Chain A
Amino acid sequence: MFEAIAFYLFSAVTIAMFTIVVMSKNALYSMSALAAGMIMISGFFFLLDADFLGVVQIIVYTGAVMALYAFGMMFFDTTREVKENIRAPKLVFLLSGMTALLLVIAFVAPIVSDHIEALYPMTEGVQNPQAVGIVLFTKYLVPFEVAAVMLLVAMVAGIILAGKKMDESLTLKVDEEFQEKGAQ
């Protein structure tokens, strides 16, 4: 009963928030709605007994990713409304609906035909974070390490891209000046 109420509440709020993200003309509203939607998504994870994933969702998305977006938006003029020239708006909805339907059919077909077997069944009497740890550090150790290296690469790339020539204004110069500087 409570599960049903929570599910419908969460799904209504999530869909509303994500619709605001997609439709809003103001970047700031979009970002706030996205953060709210992320929190609601973590609610689904708690409903699905994926406690660890729910906590990771809150920490990584609303903590790190949203803070990163907020920092990034300091560089952009966010008070101005986003101008977009959209051609054929109805076609967009039709195309995206069709694509989503196609993808869902493609991915649900093997599930419907019931060929799924549990590769790593959940252990009895073990809490979710513990079970996740057991599987992550035994079966998925190599992908875990690869993900760690990927995050390191992303961090270095972010620092290099955003922090390079921070002391000079890049907007007041023309491209030629940069090329001259690069040639020196």
Chain B
Amino acid sequence: MITLSHYLILSALLFSIGLVGVYRRKNLLMLLFSTEILLNAVNVGFAAISKFYGDLTGQMFAFFIVAVAASEVAVGLGLMIVWYKRRGTLDIDSMQSMHG
């Protein structure tokens, strides 16, 4: 029988995979992919809690998170395209203009 803990453990696992990506990646595009993983992991947790407590609030939250993720991608990709046109690279290290 699959219980709430199964889903929460899965959600935590996916979240830590996404965190590994955020910590590890130096490319902006890959960083955006990792944030998508983070948002999706949280969505799974919300939907699971929503089912096992018989409450729709979790699903509502997941729904708004999907909307936020979609707009984040639109703006983020636009900024990345501008940056790539200017510098020809998406490496995060190329963004530091002050060498302290």
Contact = CB atoms under 8 A, between A and B. Distances in A.
Contacts of A18: 14, 17-18, 37
The majority secondary structure among interface residues of chain A is helix
A84 interface: yes
Interface in A102-122: 103-104, 108, 111, 116, 118-122
Interface of A: 3-4, 7, 11, 14-15, 18-19, 21-22, 27, 30-31, 34, 37-38, 41, 44-45, 48-50, 52-53, 56-57, 60-61, 64-65, 68-69, 71-73, 75-76, 82-86, 89, 92-93, 95-97, 99-101, 103-104, 108, 111, 116, 118-122, 131-132, 135-136, 140, 143, 147, 150-151, 153-155, 157-162, 164, 170-171, 175
26 contacts: A15-B10, A21-B21, A38-B40, A44-B44, A45-B47, A50-B47, A60-B69, A61-B36, A65-B73, A68-B73, A69-B29, A75-B81, A84-B91, A86-B26, A92-B24, A96-B20, A100-B19, A104-B12, A104-B15, A116-B55, A120-B55, A120-B56, A147-B67, A150-B67, A154-B75, A161-B79
